[in-house]
Amino acid sequence: MTRRRQGRWLLRHFTLGFAIAIGLMGADFDWNLPKGFPRPIVPADNPMSAAKVALGRYLFYDKRISVNGKASCGTCHRQELAFTDGRARAEGTTGQLHPRSSMSLVNVAYAPLLTWANPTLDSLEEQALTPMLGEEPIELGLKRHEQEFVNTLRRDPHYQRLFAEAFPEGGDVYTLQNATKAIATFERTIISLRSPYDRYRWGGDSSAISESAKRGELLFSSSERGGCFQCHGGWNFTTIRFEGSRDRGGDEDTRGFFTTGVALYAPPNRGLYEHTQRPEDIGKFRAPSLRNIALTAPYMHDGSLATLEEVIDHYAAGGKMDHPNKSRILRPFRVTDGEKHDLIEFLRSLTDQELLHDPQWSDPWTGMKRLATSK
């Protein structure tokens, strides 16, 4: 073996060993998951740690992350709304409207792909850069102001402690890359598995949900009528990946995307087509999780359906818009008023009330302001 080849071999194996070691550093992080639920996948170069979660929580709610100090990640992802914003179209820090609504961040750690219609984006660390640096539309507006934001972090005594604890390896820890790593780490902890339905289905508490909700579950799971489970299946009511599962993300993975006949799909809301330029992908959007769905209105990628009743009517009609790409899963079915009520009761049973108020995901700056004003 030549010295050059030997050097490459050593570098490759050192890098692999370092990645494995980093991964093991986060292996003892306490996810506090119910028995039987899998752990999320965590990148080898961004292991979990309580210190990094704490830093990410402050960054997530810090409005200095926007160019004019008016918005944070938490502005479009509000805890009390299951980390959505209640708007049909998200609004950026300068008032510019996004063409789509803000997706919930609940259980985002299990998502094979991120956002409504990008078949290549599967990294929370990378995704965090989209609202920070994107210009069409402007969300946080940090493009060309990155160094100003980093300097703000560097000067803040609070962040001086948090960054040192989160990235103890030393060096210049005040970087945009480390900020996105911390935000992604915090987002991975936003896990919802404490709804009444969870207590009923996985906890063995037969009284946790109503008889109406139980009937609604049967209709939801019926392949002959509702068929909702075909796009919203499994315990997270959407496609998932987890530690030990087969990787379902990656370059142009279009599984889990559907055209549901909800709109005309004009630019810039043409779904996967915006990335693939394939005509058969026009109108295909990712099926979101239905967990906490009662709190995340308005619905669909464009927020065009205001209530769960409207959503059920839409699907009972087989989709209200005709389109050549409309999913074959969609077909009209008859639903009575009583069955509609049962379906909605089932969907409401997916609401995790503890999630909405759990202090581990709340705005830490609010508590600091209260403390300051009380002195």
Domain locations in the chain? 31-192, 196-354
Q: What is the DSSP string of 282-347?
A: TTBEE----TTGGGS-SBSTT--B-SHHHHHHHHHTT-SS--TT--TT-------HHHHHHHHHHH
Q: How far is CA 214 from the centre of its chain?
A: 27
Q: How confident is the model at residue 16 (pLDDT cuts 50, 70, 90)?
A: very low
- Please write the tens of the pLDDT for every residue from 174-218: 999 999 999 999 999 999 999 999 999 999 999 999 999 999 999
Secondary structure class of 356 (helix, strand, coil): helix
Which pLDDT does position 136 carry in this prediction? 92
Is residue 159 within 8 Å of 150, Cβ to Cβ? Answer: no
Q: Report the pLDDT averaged over residues 137-165.
A: 97
Q: CB-based contacts of 268: which residues, under 8 Å, 6+ apart?
A: 99, 274
Between 98-102, 137-141, 260-264, 364-368, the lowest mean confidence (pLDDT) is in 364-368
CATH number of 196-354: 1.10.760.10
Percent of the chain with pLDDT over 90: 79
d(Cα 107, Cα 78) in Å, to the nearest integer? Answer: 14
Secondary structure class of 91 (helix, strand, coil): strand
Please provide the average confidence, as pLDDT, over all residues in the chain: 89
Is residue 131 within 8 Å of 179, Cβ to Cβ? Answer: no
**In the predicted model, is pLDDT for residue 298 greater than 80?**
yes
Which of 103, 78, 100, 81 minimizes the C-alpha distance to 89?
100
Strands, E, within the chain: which ranges?
257-258, 285-286
d(Cα 340, Cα 33) in Å, to the nearest integer? Answer: 32
Q: CB-based contacts of 218: which residues, under 8 Å, 6+ apart?
A: none
Which pLDDT does position 177 carry in this prediction? 97
- Please write the tens of the pLDDT for every residue from 49-58: 999 999 999 9
- Please write the tens of the pLDDT for every residue from 160-175: 999 999 999 989 999 9
The terminus-to-terminus CA distance of the chain in angstroms comes to 69
CATH number of 31-192: 1.10.760.10
For the entire predicted model, the pTM comes to 0.89
Bridge partners, residue 294, by sequence: none
Is residue 229 within 8 Å of 220, Cβ to Cβ? Answer: yes
Which pLDDT does position 9 carry in this prediction? 37
Q: Do domains 31-192 and 196-354 have the same CATH topology?
A: yes
**In the predicted model, is pLDDT for residue 238 greater than 80?**
yes
In one-letter notation, the amino acid at residue 207 is S
